[in-house]
Amino acid sequence: MQHMMFQLPPPALPVRGSDVLFPVRRIYCVGRNFAEHAREMGHDPALEPPFFFSKPADALVVVPGDVVYPPATADLHHEVELVVALAAGGRNLNAAQARACIYGYGVGLDLTRRDLQRAARDKGQPWDMGKGFDQSAPVSELVPASMCGHPRSGRIELSVNGRLRQQGDLADMILDVDALIQRLSTLVELRAGDLLFTGTPAGVAALQPGDRVSASVEGVAAIEVHVLRPVE
C-alpha cells in the first residue's frame, strides 16, 4: 500500500453564499487582451493577438487578504482582471461548450514583477519569474454564474490608496471570455478547477510596500489587498 510522503494543502477559493470551497487545478492567464493596455506596453494589438501563459496554482491568495512585497523586484505592477472558474472542461470546445464549462467569476490581480518580465523578454527567456512568483495571484471569492450571470460588459477598475489607476470595460476585451476558453482548449485540455485570468485594462503601474489596493468588476465583486513590507 503506497501513500503520500506528506500532504500539500490544495489551493482553493471560497464561493459566495456557500460553505463549499472551489478546488483550483491550474491558473491560466491571457496577455494583451485589451488594446489600450497592449499599446501602453509598446505593442500593436492589430499585429499581435492575445496569448496565454500560466501561474502555479499555489500562487493563489484568497482575498480580502495580504500579500508580502516580493523579492528580486523594484517594479511590482498591479493588473486587475476578471477571473473565470471552470467546473468542466474538454478540448477543442465550441463557443456554446466553452460557456457551459463556466462555474463562476471572481476578481483577481495578475501581480507582475515588470522588471523581471522585461528582462526575460529582452533575452528571449520565459516569463515565469516575472509572472509566476509566490502570492502572484490574489483572487476574490467566486460568484457562481447562477448568481451573477455571464458578465460581458461592465466597469473593471483598480485604485491604489484611494486613487484610480486602472479603468476599462469588459466589453473592450479583444477576445471575449467564451472565445478565450475556446482558443485555450485548442492548446491544452481544460478541466474542472481551472482558473483563467482574462486580461487587464490600461493603467498598470507600480505598487509599493504599504499600499492598499482596491479592485472591482461591476456585477461580480470588489476586493481589497494590502501590500505588506517584506520581513528582513
Choose one: 8-16, 53-61, 177-185, 200-208; the region binding Mn ion (CB under 5 A).
200-208
CA-closest candidate to residue 166, choices 78, 55, 70, 67: 78
Asked if 200 touches Mn ion (CB under 5 A), the answer is yes
Beta-sheet strands, E only, within the chain: 12-14, 21-23, 27-31, 51-55, 60-62, 65-68, 76-77, 80-86, 102-109, 112-113, 137-139, 143-144, 155-160, 163-169, 195-197, 212-217, 221-228
When CB distances to Mn ion are compared, the closest residue is 110
Asked if 176 touches Mn ion (CB under 5 A), the answer is no
Q: Which one, 81 or 141, has the nearer CB to Mn ion?
A: 81
Question: How many residues line the site for Mn ion (CB under 5 A)?
Answer: 3
Site string for Mn ion, 61-80 (x = CB under 5 A): ------------------x-
Q: Which one, 79 or 178, has the nearer CB to Mn ion?
A: 79
Asked if 141 touches Mn ion (CB under 5 A), the answer is no
Distance CA 146, CA 87 (A): 13
Cell triple for residue 99?
460557456
Which residue of 80, 82, 110, 214 would you call a contact of Mn ion, by CB under 5 A? 110
Which residue bears the cell 508580502?
68
Q: Contact positions toward Mn ion, by CB under 5 A?
A: 79, 110, 200
